[in-house]
């Protein structure tokens, strides 16, 4: 199985889109998306310097547009899993069929502007904590009255919050850890971004998301989301919620992913995965010259089952890894209401309820009592809308 990944803020490099403009239609596509995002994506991706593309309001739509532009030149129908880091989730949601590319770029423009505005309300920042005992790191972040904004795996946690809190953490670091202050505008993925979440939610409410056509992972908890409106809600919530990329990587391993392709500007996620999951084939797509290797990897590892429903049925899938327990009072042939719990998955963090998104008839159990299941695995088939 192959996963396609979209990177987040911090992965951008000056001029990284320049070689892509040589491809037919690429510049026209970026100019159309520029109109939607409210920024000049062609300038930002080719001529802007490092300082300019560090601006949150500009970086976020630039990264989403770059991932989508890259993916247009790949056989995405053969990719089984998609995921994105932070703002990269918007690109992943488009690649997974939940959003149109136009909606993803538009939301990225709004998200970037509103998060930049929220950063200006109060001085805040972020710092990476490298190494140390995970529990001690989280305790030190809490003691400094900060938030664990990003848990990226591979011994990396990003703390965010007030500047005095960051100074306290730097002065009293956890044992065997190193603190690196990040050059960012503010405390992303914390309650400080609440005004941005509210603004993004107001616009997202006017979008009609579709059901995912691929296994689509969420930064909120690493689970596979098989319901368009739920994914859209999570994309909005993620503005103030921590990025759990560590759990996304765990899900990639649980799914049995054998190769990953990181879209432009690639490198950051490939590095995290290389340190956290051994044995995967990793392809980084930074220029059109890398497309051949990516297509070859997709051809050899792709064509996995997707969430795309059969025209006459909907399929309920597992959102987490664990063991499945169907509802004791539910049998094949029974009617099911939309939102009704049909069972639960026992995970290491506790039970996760499994609900039917559509009303219908439970036509077939696809997993049974105490069966081990992975995120995205089909559990039951619901047919015949009632």
The pLDDT-based confidence of 249 (bands split at 50, 70, 90) is: very high
One DSSP character per residue, 277-324 reads STT-EEEE--SGGGHHHHHHHHHHH-----SPPPTTEEEEE-SSSEEE
Query: How high is the pLDDT of residue 313?
Result: 56
3-state secondary structure of 350: strand
Q: Is 254 exposed, middle or buried (0-12, 13-18, 19+ CB in 10 A)?
A: buried
Contacts with 28 (C-beta within 8 Å, 6 or more apart), sequence order: none
What is the distance between the alpha carbons of residues 294 and 286, in angstroms, rounded to a whole number? 11
pLDDT band at 384; cut points 50, 70, 90: low
Rounded to a whole number of angstroms, the distance between the first and last alpha carbons of the chain is: 35
Q: How far apart are CA 96 and CA 65, in angstroms?
A: 15
Query: Which range among 99-113, 254-268, 328-342, 353-367 shows the weakest confidence by mean pLDDT?
Result: 353-367
DSSP 8-state secondary structure symbol assigned to residue 209 = P
Instruction: List the structure tokens of 124.
Output: 């805040």
pLDDT at residue 234 greater than cutoff 50: yes
Residue keyed to tokens 């603190």: 179
Mean pLDDT for 272-299 is 96
Q: Are 157 and 137 in contact (CB under 8 A)?
A: yes
Which pLDDT belongs to residue 124?
97
The H helix count followed by the E strand count for the chain is 12, 18
Number of C-beta neighbours around residue 316 at 10 A: 23
Cα 63 from Cα 65, distance rounded (Å): 5
With residue 128 as reference, give the H or E element that holds it.
Answer: strand 124-131
What are the domain boundaries of the chain? 2-118+191-301, 121-182, 313-383
- Of the candidate CATH numbers 3.30.300.130, 2.60.120.200, 2.40.50.100, 3.40.50.300, the domain formed by 313-383 belongs to 2.40.50.100
Question: How many CB atoms within 10 Å of residue 163?
Answer: 12
Higher pLDDT, 373 or 65: 65
Residue 136 above 90 pLDDT?
Answer: yes
Provide the CA 242 distance to its chain's centre, in angstroms.
12
**Res 360 pLDDT > 50:** yes
pLDDT value of residue 314:
67
Calculated CA dihedral for residues 102, 111, 170, 271, nearest 10 degrees: -10
Q: Is the pLDDT assigned to residue 110 strictly greater than 80?
A: yes
Per-residue pLDDT tens for 164-216?
999 999 999 999 999 999 988 999 999 999 999 999 999 999 999 999 999 99
Range 121-182 classified under CATH 3.40.50.1100: no
Q: Is beta strand 2-6 parallel, antiparallel or unpaired with respect to 81-84?
A: parallel
Average pLDDT, the chain: 92
4: confidence class by pLDDT, cuts 50, 70, 90: very high
pTM of the predicted structure, to 2 decimals: 0.82
Catalytic residues: 86, 189
The CATH superfamily assigned to 2-118+191-301 is Malonyl-Coenzyme A Acyl Carrier Protein, domain 2 (3.40.366.10)
Q: Is pLDDT larger for residue 104 or for residue 380?
A: 104
386, pLDDT greater than 80: no
Residue 14 CB neighbours (<10 A)? 16
Report whether pLDDT(308) > 60.
no
Q: Residue 63: name the closest of 83, 80, 86, 81 by CA.
A: 86
């Amino acid at each position: 199985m192959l996963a396609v990944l979209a990177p987040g803020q911090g992965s951008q490099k000056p001029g990284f889109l320049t070689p892509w403009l040589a491809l037919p239609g690429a510049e026209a596509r970026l100019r159309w998306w520029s109109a939607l995002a409210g920024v000049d994506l062609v300038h930002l991706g080719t001529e802007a310097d490092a300082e300019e593309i560090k601006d949150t309001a500009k970086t976020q739509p630039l990264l989403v547009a770059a991932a989508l532009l890259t993916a247009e030149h790949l056989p995405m129908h053969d990719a089984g899993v998609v995921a994105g880091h932070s703002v990269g989730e918007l690109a992943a949601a488009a690649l997974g069929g939940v959003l149109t590319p136009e909606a993803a770029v538009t939301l990225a423009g709004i998200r970037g502007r509103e998060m930049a505005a929220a950063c200006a309300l109060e001085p805040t920042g972020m710092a990476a904590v490298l190494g140390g005992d995970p529990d001690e790191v989280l305790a030190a972040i809490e003691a400094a009255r900060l938030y664990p904004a990003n848990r990226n795996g591979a011994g990396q946690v990003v703390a965010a919050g007030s500047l005095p809190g960051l100074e306290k953490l730097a002065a009293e670091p956890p044992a065997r850890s190193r603190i690196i202050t990040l050059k960012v505008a503010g405390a992303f993925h914390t309650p400080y971004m609440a005004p941005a979440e509210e603004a993004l939610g107001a616009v997202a409410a006017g979008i009609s998301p579709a059901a995912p056509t691929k296994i689509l992972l969420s930064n909120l908890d690493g689970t596979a989301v098989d319901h368009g409106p739920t994914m859209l809600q999570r994309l909005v919530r993620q503005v103030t919620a921590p990025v759990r990329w560590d759990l996304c990587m765990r899900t990639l391993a649980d799914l049995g992913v054998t190769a990953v392709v990181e879209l432009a500007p690639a490198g950051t996620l490939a590095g995290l995965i290389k340190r956290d999951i051994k044995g995967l084939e990793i392809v980084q797509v930074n220029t059109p010259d890398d497309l051949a290797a990516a297509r070859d990897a997709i051809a050899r590892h792709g064509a996995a089952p997707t969430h795309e429903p059969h025209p006459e049925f909907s399929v309920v899938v597992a959102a987490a890894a664990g063991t499945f327990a169907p509802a004791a009072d539910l049998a094949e042939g029974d009617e099911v209401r939309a939102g009704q719990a049909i069972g639960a998955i026992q995970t290491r963090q506790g039970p996760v309820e499994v609900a039917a998104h559509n009303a219908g008839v439970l036509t077939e159990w696809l997993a049974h009592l105490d069966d081990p299941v992975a995120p995205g695995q089909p559990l039951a088939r619901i047919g015949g809308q009632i």
